[in-house]
Structure formats: structure tokens, C-alpha cells
Amino acid sequence: MRLIPSNFTFRGSALLGLELGLILVGILLKDGALITLGVCLFIILLGAIIFGRRNIAKLKVELDLPHRVHAHKSFSARARIINQRAFLDTYNVDISIHLPQGKVQQAKAKWIPSKCGAEYNFRPSIPMRASVLEMHYELVSRFPFGLFTMRKRGTVSAPLLVYPRLIIPRELLSEGTLSDLNPNQGSTQGDALGEPRGIRPWQPGDPAKKIHWPASARSLNRGHGLRVRENDPPGFQPEFCHVIYHSFGRGEVLREDRFERALSLLAGTLSLLMRHNVAAKLQADFLGWSSLPCQNTAQYQECLAIMAETKRAQGTESHELQSALKLVERNHSCIIISDMTTDAWLPSVKLPHGTMVIDIRQIHFQRPKTNSPALSIKHA
């Protein structure tokens, strides 16, 4: 924890100017009362500095939050400011917690008794994937009288792994799509409905005809979003799905935001396959074209953890993608996801029969708003 030098506020600067003016005028006029008044103001400023530094000293910050979360999904977190002093209380301390991807959570503790703590419960959401081991915070106090701004900065150990946002591609939202990928693994009609599974929150790409209006009305009345019907795909599920990710493309400018979108679509695809108990294997250029199995929860979590920390592969060639496609067995389904538009890479490769191509131009991110409630005081 590092204490930043004190800065004068406007009120403190005005008081300092008044003090110097009184002393100077008192000396010129030989007026002891003005000099005494100026000295008294100086003592007030000196006392404000001393008490201000004492007010922010020996404060410990703790942060409790999950180790693994999904981007764009709120989660429960808690911050505590503990006053470790034996006698002096703390007043009017603002805290700013710097979360990954530029998110800042702010709160204010009006009073923290000695040997007690102020607790702050909040529900943040991280807009993009990230991986951090510690987080920075800043304590700010203008006690007493608002004459000086005291700052103290530090770091707190808080490992956090932010998975990509789960976005199910709209190509997979049509009933029977998984079964239609490979007719050899089952026959079905692509426009048929399967057995009802339940109701879930609305996601970008869901058709309007699937909205469950009675459930949506109740959800909106509680301050939540729309609800849609969810059906199991009809017929048989594919036995195995080969998921390929690449960044190959010609004649198109590289865009980092599309890489984040593509990872979200990839995470949503693996999530849907896991939900329907479809064994899958991920092969990607950012993995060096090595394969990762995704057949149980542990392997699925490992894939998400790798995607949370990965970087975009550079210089992917068409022959590398073609070599990966040749490894797809004839009786396996195949899904291809790329951060380049289909116009930039699809004409250059030959796809196996029954391959599904996910179009990157289907989703846009929006940043959520967060509120900063006040801290509640609890005894340590």
C-alpha cells in the first residue's frame, strides 16, 4: 500500500491564501490580532494534515469474489475495508476497485469504528475475457473539513479468470440442426420440433416465435428480460462433433473485436454441445492446431480456461485449415468458426459433407451499467 502526497482542495487553497494574507497584512500593519488569526489558521491546516493522514492509515482492503466467471454475466462480489487502529475511527473514505477490462467499482464508507470493518456487496460484470492474479484499489479521504485530498493505493490478491461470453450461434438455434449436420447419424426433419425442455432467458439471435409471452410478462414485471421456449432437437443427436476454429482470411482487415466475438460463439457452441451430451473435439490455430477433447465438464472448463487467456494466431494459411478438415472422419459432424467473414476464407477451402459454417457477422456487444451502493459497517 502506497500513500500518495496530499493535495489541496479548493477549500484548502482558499484557507491557505487567507492565512498568508492575514499574516502578511498583520506584519505590514503591525497588528498582532491579524498575525494571531493567521497563525491559528495555519495550526488548523497543520492539524487537518495530521488527522487526514491518520484517518487513512492502517486500513486493510480485502476482496472476495469467484475465481471463474463468464464475461458479460454479473456475479456476486464483496469488498471490505478493515480499520486496524486500536483507538481512532475512520470517517468518509471512498474506495475504487479496478476490475479487469477497465471496470471500476466505487463505494463510500462514512464511518468505520476502530477494529471494525465496512463491507461492500456488489454485482459487477466484466465485458470481455481476462485473467488476473491481483487487482488495484485506491482509497480517497478528504477528512477533516475537506481541506486536503489524501490518497492511498495498493493491490489485493484476487485471482480471477473471465471466460468468454457464451453466445450460441443462430445457426444452431434452429430445431434439428445438430441432427441435420450428418444424416448418417440419424434422420430427421430440420423444421420439426423436439420435446419441450423448458424456458430460458432470451439470447441474441432467438426468433420471435419462440418467445413465451406469459413467462416474459412475469419476468419483465420482476425487472428481468424476455423468456423463450426451449425444445430438444428431434431425432437422434450426432455421436461426435469436430469443432474447428481458425483466423485465416484473404483481402480483409484484421479486427480484434471480431476475435472476441468469435471466441464467444465458440464458447456458446461448446456449451450447447455439452448441454445435449454431444462429444466434441476442439481444434484451433491458436492452439497450434492441436486438439482438445470436450466430452465432460472438466474438459469443457479446461477449454474455457484456455480461451480466456489465448491470443489470436497470426499468419494462418489455407493449407493448415485444409489439413485440419482432412482429419474429420466421415461419420463425424463438423462446425467451423472463424473471426474472418465467410467471404474471406470460404472460397479457398473444400469443406467436408455436412459441415456447418458459423458466420461472425451476427452479434454485437453492449456494455452493461453498474451502480455503486454504499458500504455497510460490520464488526470484525
Tell me: the pLDDT tens digits for 292-326?
999 998 999 999 999 999 999 888 898 999 999 99
pLDDT computed for residue 162 by the predictor = 94
pLDDT tops 80 at residue 169 = yes
Please give the pLDDT value at position 229. Answer: 85
Q: 170 or 186, which is more confident?
A: 170
User: For position 198, what pLDDT does the model report?
Assistant: 81
Instruction: Judge contact between 71 and 162, C-beta under 8 A.
Output: yes
Confidence band (pLDDT; 50, 70, 90) for 363? low
The percentage of residues in the chain with a pLDDT greater than 90, rounded to a whole number, is 35
- In the chain the domains, ranked by start, together with CATH numbers, are 1-162 (2.60.40.10), 170-195+232-358 (no CATH)
> Is the model's pLDDT at 282 over the cut of 80?
yes
Please calculate the CA angle 253-256-260 and round it to the nearest 5 degrees.
130
Yes or no: say if 91 and 81 are a contact pair by the CB < 8 Å rule: no
Tens digits of residue pLDDT in 210-242: 888 888 998 888 888 898 888 765 554 677 889
Mean pLDDT of the chain: 84
Question: Residue 179: CA atoms inside 13 Å, Cβ hemisphere, count?
Answer: 18
- Three-state DSSP at 97 gives strand
Share of the chain above pLDDT 70, in %: 86
pLDDT value of residue 256: 76
pLDDT category of residue 246 using cuts at 50, 70 and 90: very high
C-alpha grid cell for residue 230?
426451449
pLDDT higher than 80, residue 373: no
| Contacts (Cβ under 8 Å, ≥6 apart) of 26 | 32, 33, 34, 35, 36, 37, 38
240 vs 191, higher pLDDT: 240
Reported as a single tens digit per residue, the pLDDT across 66-117 is 999 999 899 999 999 999 988 889 999 999 999 998 889 999 999 999 999 9
Q: Which helix (H) or strand (E) holds 105?
A: strand 104-112
Cβ neighbors of 315 (< 8 A, separation 6 or more) are none
Per residue in 46-57, pLDDT tens? 888 888 888 888
Average pLDDT over residues 281-289: 93
